[in-house]
């Protein structure tokens, strides 16, 4: 029976527990719950992901699903996970450390399921809307916590960060602010001024929060890049010049008005000087130390790497100096996705990682809001992964998996070649 069938051969309606359409709708609602909980909780996301997988399984047409796995957009994430698993065989780390290092890549296995499901479901925008709403609520709560820290949901909360950490929060706010650029321009072109102004207000609220409350340096670097990508793809040169001029003026005003922004930008130079001159473990200094040592580890085993979970042990052996110095720091994550992969799986891992990113970039080369969201998610992950291992981090990794899986599935659904009727599209609700 195909995934889209809703009746038995005799024409009698199937019971809900056997109806693929009922399971599909359950999966879509669960995906909304994942998006709503992602800015707030890791445990809830884990629970809802398991529920989502259970709900999707009864909707699968095994033959169609196996055919879909042959696409590079599906097989490459699986290949990267398989490499992490096989890489345990030549690692010198303890077996517990090896399997612990496999788990960050396990989320990539959800990508083929998401692509398959949302090629057949028309409810993908539910998930993106839920994420925007959840991030908007978090942004409002961030202002409250900035003024009244006692309302934070954790004891050791950073300034203006109600839950999790300022890096995750900045990634969410940056993604939402830039993603809204497409619908804003579309509404303005359609002369729908009031809805456009509402979205402008929401987008500016995210940016103002990052300017005046707290922002990660990674987001500070990548937001201009994301905006430049949007401008080059969707605006005329005259409009780009006008908006760029306006952006420079607003950035200047934010610089003058926000001590927080000046402090964040000033920390680049300050951290570098403290690291170079006094070997103090500042944020930037530690990253440079991690990158330098990781390059050395990569050179030692350039083809297949040192194996899954080997990074911490390598840093322990390379630690020098006093316990409080930057050169003595030990870590299992070099804070760069490419180096994280290179140390453990060498050139083979780098090729698989970049092939996956490229396949997903090419998937979103079309026009439309869904294509823009998917492209933005991939571009953000690539650039922020210069400073962190965001594909393997829980929060940013799930942002990538959900964004690529849902947007990619929606684009495949719109493609008359890929959205073949015999593959069993779900009926619209």
DSSP assignments along 63-111, one per residue: HHHHHHTTSHHHHHHHHHHHHHHHGGGG--S-HHHHHHHHHHHHGGGHH
% pLDDT > 70, the chain: 81
Of the pLDDT bands very low, low, confident and very high (cuts 50, 70, 90), residue 267 is: low
Residue corresponding to tokens 């809307």 = 129
Domain locations in the chain as residue ranges = 22-59, 61-120+282-429, 124-278
Asked if residue 19 has pLDDT above 80, the reply is no
pTM of the model: 0.86
**Position with higher pLDDT, 3 vs 309:** 309
**pLDDT tier for residue 324 given thresholds of 50, 70 and 90:** low
- Which of 35-39, 53-57, 88-92, 265-269 has the lowest average pLDDT? 265-269
DSSP class of 58? G
- Distance (Å, whole) CA 394 – CA 396: 6
Instruction: Decide: 68 and 417 in contact? Cβ < 8 Å.
Output: no
Q: Quick one: residue 340, left, alpha or beta (phi over 0 = left, psi -120 to 50 = alpha)?
A: alpha
Mean pLDDT of 378-382: 94
Residue-level pLDDT at 263: 66
Mean pLDDT of the chain: 85
Q: Is the pLDDT of residue 2 over 90?
A: no
Q: Both tokens of residue 125?
A: 């925008």
């Amino acid at each position: 029976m195909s995934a889209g069938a809703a009746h038995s051969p005799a024409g009698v309606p199937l019971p809900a527990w056997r109806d693929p359409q009922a399971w599909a709708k359950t999966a879509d609602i669960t995906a909304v719950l994942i998006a709503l909980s992602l800015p707030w909780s890791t445990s809830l996301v884990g629970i809802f992901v398991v529920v989502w997988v259970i709900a999707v399984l009864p909707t699968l047409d095994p033959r169609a699903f196996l055919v879909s796995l042959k696409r590079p957009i599906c097989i490459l994430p699986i290949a990267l996970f398989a490499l992490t698993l096989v890489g345990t065989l030549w690692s010198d780390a303890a077996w517990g450390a090896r399997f612990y290092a496999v788990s960050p890549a396990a989320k990539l296995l959800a990508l083929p399921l998401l692509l398959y499901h949302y090629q057949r479901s028309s409810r993908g925008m539910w998930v993106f809307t839920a994420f925007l709403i959840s991030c908007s609520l978090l942004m409002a709560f961030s202002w409250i916590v900035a003024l009244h820290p006692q309302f934070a949901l954790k004891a050791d909360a950073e300034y203006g960060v109600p839950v999790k950490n300022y890096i995750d929060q900045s990634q969410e706010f940056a993604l939402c602010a830039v993603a809204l650029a497409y619908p804003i321009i579309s509404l303005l072109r359609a002369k729908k001024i009031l809805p456009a102004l509402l979205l402008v207000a929401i987008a500016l609220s995210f940016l103002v929060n990052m300017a005046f409350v707290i922002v990660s340096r990674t987001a500070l670097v990548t937001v201009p890049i994301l905006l430049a990508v949007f401008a080059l793809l969707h605006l005329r040169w005259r409009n780009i010049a006008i908006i760029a001029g306006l952006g420079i003026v607003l950035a200047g005003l934010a610089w003058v008005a926000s001590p927080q922004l000046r402090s964040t930008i000033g920390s680049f130079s300050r951290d570098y000087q403290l690291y170079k001159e006094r070997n103090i473990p500042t944020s930037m200094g530690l990253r440079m130390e991690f990158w330098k040592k990781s390059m050395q580890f990569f050179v030692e085993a350039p083809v297949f790497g040192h194996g899954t979970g080997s990074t911490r042990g390598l840093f322990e052996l390379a630690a020098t100096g006093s316990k409080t110095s930057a050169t003595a720091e030990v870590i299992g994550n070099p804070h760069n996705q490419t180096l994280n992969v290179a140390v453990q799986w060498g050139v083979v891992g780098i090729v698989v990682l970049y092939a996956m990113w490229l396949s997903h970039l090419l998937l979103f080369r079309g026009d439309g809001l869904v294509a823009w969201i998917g492209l933005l998610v991939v571009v953000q992950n690539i650039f922020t992964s210069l400073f962190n291992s965001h594909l393997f981090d829980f929060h940013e990794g799930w942002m990538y998996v959900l964004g690529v899986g849902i947007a990619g599935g929606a684009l495949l659904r719109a493609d008359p070649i890929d959205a073949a009727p015999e593959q069993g599209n779900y009926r619209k609700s």
